[in-house]
Structure 1
């Protein structure tokens, strides 16, 4: 049960980070972040099971580009207090 609570906290933290970048309107933050999670999981499974691994690699590359672009946009806006997005940084 503790594991489920911890994962739930990590997902909520991820939503907060996604919203904090202030690129999309707030009503789109949760659907887009869920979409990103789904793409990450699907891409990883494609690579792990070697089923269209190239497509999985391309999808993860596109996501990395999007994440980098979001950070760059915020840095150009002068925002330097961005979270790394690493869910293991959540305090206990």
Structure 2
């Protein structure tokens, strides 16, 4: 059993990451469908249904992980999705296909495939796994909720900062190659 503060921090942070990812995909499903096709993992005829199903599953898992009754099921959904995404990234990296857009957050944050994405996804899976653990039955105090809020904000700032840094790193490399 873990402290409920840690459980709430990881559950809420994971929910916000996956919900924002789903909403970005919903905003431009055609672009996400293109990213799915570019992975070359599925038959083309299956790309559209898959591209529509992924954000629905992400949003469902994000909602479920914050409710104690459905937290384990939400965690399983998010773990399965992240494992599948990570496997697709690794397979493409092993094929030497680094120029594929990951499609993680739609066109708003274009990121080419890299081992950083694999590491990021493994950390996300760890966070989701922690959220699925049983917590102590103690009630949270006002200070605990402040700690939860600070923890969630900290995790999200670190996650977003790392994502933007690595997204821009690939762009800087492209510029360096172009002008070298």
Fold shared by both chains (TM-score > 0.5): yes
Aligned residue number for residue 34 of structure 1: 52
Q: CA deviation at 1:8?
A: 6.5
Once residues 12 and 89 of structure 1 are traced to their aligned partners in structure 2, the CA distance between those partners, rounded to angstroms, is: 15
Which of 28, 31, 37 pairs up with 1:13? 31
Q: CA deviation at 1:7?
A: 7.3
Return 5+ residue gaps in structure 1 as ranges: 1-5
> Are 1:56 and 2:70 counterparts?
no
Which of the pair has more CA radius of gyration? 2
Aligned residue number for residue 89 of structure 1: 109
RMSD: 2.1
Provide runs of 4+ in structure 1 moved above 4 Å: 6-9
Once residues 33 and 25 of structure 2 are traced to their aligned partners in structure 1, the CA distance between those partners, rounded to angstroms, is: 13
> Are 1:47 and 2:65 counterparts?
yes
Return 5+ residue gaps in structure 2 as ranges: 1-23, 111-180
Which of 86, 90, 97 pairs up with 1:68? 86
Q: CA deviation at 1:49?
A: 3.7
TM-score by length of structure 2 reads: 0.43
Aligned residue number for residue 3 of structure 1: none
